[in-house]
Structure formats: C-alpha cells, structure tokens
C-alpha cells in the first residue's frame, strides 16, 4: 500500500512540474496546456488570451524556475501581461469598471478633459502603467498611447512597472497565502538585492520584448 501511495505522489509531482525531490522538473515545465516555450537568455512560457478593441496584447507569462542568488531554486507565480491603447483598455481586458482603486468613470473624465484642451493620453495618461492584482492574479499593464509619446518615456515605464511586479512575485514566493492589503511586502535589502535584480531582469526583458514587437518597424 505504501509503495502504491508513493508512486501516486511521484506521478502527481511530475505532472505539476516538480520532481519527487521538490526540484522543478524542466521537461514538465514546458508540457502544459497551450503555453508556448520562449527564450530571452532565460526560459519562460507564454499563453495568448483573447483580445478585442483597444487591447493589443494579453498573455499569461510563466517564468521557468531558476537558481536565485542566495535563495536557491525559485518558482515564480504566473502573471498576466497586458498592453493596450489608452487607459480604458485595462478595464476592458479585465472586464471591470474598477481596478486597484482606479475607476473607469474617472478615466473617461480624464480623457474628456484632455480632449477639451486639444490633447490626448499621449500628453498625460490617466494610467501610464499599472501593476496590481485582479482577484489573486498579478498583472502588469502598459498604456501604449502614453508609451508611444516618446522613446524616453517608454523606457521609463518599461523599467518602472517590472520593479513593482518583481516585489509582488518575490512576496508571493515567500508567502503564497499573502494578504496583499494587510500583510507586509518583502523589502529590498543587501541580502536579497541580487535576487530582486534577477526577477526584475526577467520581468523587464519580457515587457520590452513585447513592446518592441508592437512597434510598426519591428521585424
């Protein structure tokens, strides 16, 4: 009976992408439903979600487990990556009228005020970028109308949001049941700076890659 139970647990661990020793099973990592393997000097998987209207990109991203400096093997949670034209696209992608305390109605008012002054969100968006949670799912959003206003501004936001995401990912690794409203987030300090940097590199590299693919002159 114990042998049968051990075999069952072994196969369950393999199907979940982990070996019987608790070390990520890289072969299993790439064998999950609809995810496409990619590589940007590190391995990750992406899964396209349906898009419509002003939403340009909506994907689930799953970074392959990696050996983080001073921490050991780390398996980061999946997150959702969204690019859209205008602030309203994040509400459309998530199917909500409010997210992270920001309201669709206020976004509409901001856009209306800009239009009244002959401006658009390229001049000052209601949301340029946003990293937060929808339910328990982390997402990172970029407003293409604002990013496309200048190369310099795009570079700023593409670096800014992944830092927020890195902190959310690392906090969830440390405490999978974290209450994001009441529990403290992991703080950046001397001991975990390289760990933060490794996660930030991956999140930023994927965001930059996707932004480059959207540009008209991209190949």
CA atoms of 203 and 4, how far apart (whole Å): 41
Give residue 98's Cα distance to chain centre: 19
185 contacts 171 by C-beta, under 8 angstroms? yes
In-domain check, residue 197: yes
- Please provide the size of the chain in residues: 219
Query: Does residue 109 sit in the same domain as residue 24?
Result: no
Query: Does residue 41 sit in the same domain as residue 24?
Result: no
* φ, ψ for residue 79, nearest 5 deg: -140, 160
Could you give the number of structural domains in the chain? 2
In-domain check, residue 219: no
In-domain check, residue 55: yes
51 contacts 64 by C-beta, under 8 angstroms? no
Query: Does residue 115 sit in the same domain as residue 63?
Result: yes
CA 98 vs CA 87, 88, 140, 160, 200: distances in Å: 12, 10, 16, 22, 27
Per-residue pLDDT of 4-34, as tens digits, reads 333 323 223 323 333 333 344 444 555 568 8
Query: Does residue 18 sit in the same domain as residue 47?
Result: no
Question: How large is the average pLDDT for residues 95-113?
Answer: 96
Beta bridge partners of 129: 142
Domain that includes residue 6, residue range: 1-31
pLDDT of res. 29: 55
In-domain check, residue 63: yes
pLDDT of res. 187: 87
Query: Does residue 24 sit in the same domain as residue 61?
Result: no
Q: What is the mean pLDDT of the chain?
A: 85
Query: Does residue 72 sit in the same domain as residue 177?
Result: yes
In-domain check, residue 199: yes
Per-residue pLDDT of 69-102, as tens digits, reads 889 999 999 999 999 999 999 999 999 999 999 9
Query: Does residue 20 sit in the same domain as residue 45?
Result: no
Q: Which of 18-27, 132-141, 170-179 has the lowest mean pLDDT?
A: 18-27
CA atoms of 22 and 76, how far apart (whole Å): 14
Query: Does residue 9 sit in the same domain as residue 52?
Result: no
Q: Which residue has the tokens 């070996």?
A: 19
Strands (DSSP E) contained in 40-100 are 43-48, 55-63, 66-68, 72-74, 79-84, 98-99
219 pLDDT band, cuts 50/70/90, is very low
pLDDT of res. 184: 83
pLDDT of res. 31: 56
CA atoms of 70 and 24, how far apart (whole Å): 17
CA 197 vs CA 13, 175, 180, 214: distances in Å: 29, 19, 22, 26
Query: Does residue 62 sit in the same domain as residue 158?
Result: yes
In-domain check, residue 182: yes
Query: Does residue 7 sit in the same domain as residue 62?
Result: no
217 pLDDT band, cuts 50/70/90, is low
What is the pTM assigned to this prediction? 0.84
Query: Does residue 3 sit in the same domain as residue 67?
Result: no
Query: Does residue 202 sit in the same domain as residue 183?
Result: yes
Q: Choose among 143, 138, 171: nearest CA to 156.
A: 143
């Amino acid at each position: 009976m114990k042998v049968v139970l051990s075999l069952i647990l072994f196969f369950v661990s393999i199907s979940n992408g982990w070996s019987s020793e608790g070390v990520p099973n890289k072969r299993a990592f790439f064998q999950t439903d609809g995810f496409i393997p990619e590589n940007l000097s590190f391995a990750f998987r992406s899964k396209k979600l349906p898009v419509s209207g002003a939403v340009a990109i909506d994907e689930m991203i799953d970074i392959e487990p990696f050996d983080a400096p001073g921490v050991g093997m780390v398996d980061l949670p999946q997150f959702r990556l969204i690019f859209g034209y205008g602030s309203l696209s994040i509400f459309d992608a998530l199917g909500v009228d409010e997210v992270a305390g920001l309201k669709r109605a206020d976004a509409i008012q901001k856009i209306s005020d800009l239009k009244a002054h002959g401006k658009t969100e390229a001049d000052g968006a209601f949301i340029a970028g946003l990293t937060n949670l929808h339910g328990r799912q982390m997402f990172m959003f970029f407003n293409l109308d604002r990013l496309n206003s200048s190369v310099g501004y795009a570079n700023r936001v593409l670096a800014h949001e992944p830092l927020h995401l890195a902190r959310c990912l690392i906090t969830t690794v440390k405490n999978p049941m974290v209450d994001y409203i009441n529990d403290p987030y992991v703080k950046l300090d001397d001991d975990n700076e390289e760990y933060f940097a490794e996660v930030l590199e991956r999140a930023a590299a994927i965001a930059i890659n996707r932004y480059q693919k959207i540009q008209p002159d991209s190949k």
